[in-house]
Amino acid sequence: MWLNNIETHWQSWPRLARVALAVLLGLVASLGQAPFGLPLASLVGFVAGFALLTFSQSPSKAFRVGWQFGLGYFALTMQWLVSPFLVEAESHAWMAPFAVFFMAAGLALFWGAAFAAARRINPFALVVTMPLMELLRAYLFSGFPWGMPAYGTVDRVLGQGAAHVGSHGLNFVFLLIAACTFIALLGGPRRALASIGAVLGVALLWPLPDASTVTEPSIGTIRLIQPNAPQRQKWDPDFMPIIFDRALALTASEGSPDLIVWPETSLPSILSRGEPSIQEISKAAGDAPVFFGANRLENLMFFNAAVLMDGQGVLGQTYDKHHLVPFGEYIPFGELLSRFGIHGMAASQGQGFTAGVGPKLIDLGPLGRALPLICYEAVFPQDVFAAPERPDFLLQITNDAWFGTFSGPHQHLVQSRMRSIEHGLPMVRAANTGISALIDEKGRVLNALPLNEAGFLDVELPRPAPATLYSNTGDIPIGLILTCALLGLWIRRHRNSN
């Protein structure tokens, strides 16, 4: 068999060459992620991943090759982590390569465990073990499901399946397509059935048609403000007035929006001391309410907040970000580590933020009720599902200047789009440096401002689709299905071994 020949050559290679190939194949698998958006290349990488697992002669060796494969995948996917360390390059640039390596190495541990568990049962059990590990990655240690394989399908027919099974269910389907492709290439009695599965799976990776307009009557007009403040200048006293005046001018542009949305932390002072700035925003907005991001101080606790100001300049509903960024907005064991001068990179004046109480809907009158998501919160499927009631649309404000210009902002946008697909809800997204966008209920970008350009966008808010299956069930069903499948495979192996 051709696979045996390849395995023989593989085992004869020097160890370093085998490690390099596993890492390289992980890099190929990551090409489904933005800005590349090549799910077929990603599929090839995961098919090769099944071959690597098949070549592994023990669970320990499978763990190593899975970790190496994951290291390549996450090193390219997470390369944007260099960017935060370049904001103050003179102090922090030396840490950037270590941050990327250790983050990739840590995330790859989940994939190493998936490979090892699958090797104990059957190499094709990876179809179950890897989605289970991705599910754990989304929840353990506050969770970090950035760059899941499913996100490479957001522009494809398959991506629409997130409305039924969520992103974690799509991870399973994508791995199943890779497994069918690998079995079809192997030959043998199951080749015909696997070939049908592979062909159908590849067909599901066909691109979706573009959508450029709202086809039904809109609910209202929302103006998205993108001031384009580089992170190095955002809190610089010399540049703050310039950036704020730019945002005011964009707000006062011609038009009659029903709501104006400013990005995350766009108020140039703490909320309690921001009355002069707030009145300037109200004057520029006219009669339109404004939803803006600000740092808020209460009882010596900092909150990353979003505030709704009505058409008369009166502050009303407030939402505090509840899912904070570890090592960005707070440091685990922060009180202890602060004694050594270690603080969150995005924390106000070096002090960590406090988490809000949880998801909250904002009543916007005729526009309906919105679920605010501040920056990183759009990465988590469970954060949208945890809303107290189903909103009419999603409202994300973010500052993606931290994420650089190559991949980070594009990947963040993709994950925001997947939240819309999962719940059948449109999203309006105001980002400091971009990409500000209107996203429809199918996750398609209807209108957007380019990255790193100042401007505003008046968008017509679409109506939500009916509640999706995933919006009613969340991750529990796919978690139970994967767990039961793994248990069934384990029992079958145990019986066969006896």
Identify whether 374 is preceded by a cis peptide bond (ω within 30 of 0): no
SS3 of 282-335: the string is: HHHHCCCCEEEEEEEEECCEEEEEEEEECCCCCEEEEEECCCCCECCCECCCHH
Contact partners, residue 313, CB within 8 Å, separation at least 6: 278, 279, 282, 283
Of residues 180, 234, 321, 377, which has the active-site annotation? 321
Contact partners, residue 70, CB within 8 Å, separation at least 6: 26, 104, 107, 108, 109, 110, 111, 112
Instruction: Tell me if residue 321 is catalytic.
Output: yes
Phi then psi for residue 100, to 5 deg, are: -65, -45
Phi then psi for residue 393, to 5 deg, are: -160, 165
Of residues 134, 180, 264, 329, which has the active-site annotation? 264
User: How many whole angstroms separate alpha carbon 353 and alpha carbon 172?
Assistant: 36
User: How many whole angstroms separate alpha carbon 116 and alpha carbon 147?
Assistant: 21
Separation in Å, CA 489 to CA 113, 118, 130, 136, 167: 16, 10, 14, 19, 23
CA angle 359, 360, 362 (to 5 degrees): 145
Of residues 180, 234, 375, 441, which has the active-site annotation? 375
Number of H helices, E strands in the chain: 18, 12
Instruction: Looking at 349-475, list the stretches that DSSP marks H as alpha helix, in order from N- to C-terminal side.
Output: 381-385, 408-423, 469-473
- Find out whether 292 and 267 touch, Cβ atoms under 8 Å: yes
Sign of CA dihedral 178, 179, 180, 185: positive
Catalytic residue IDs: 264, 321, 375
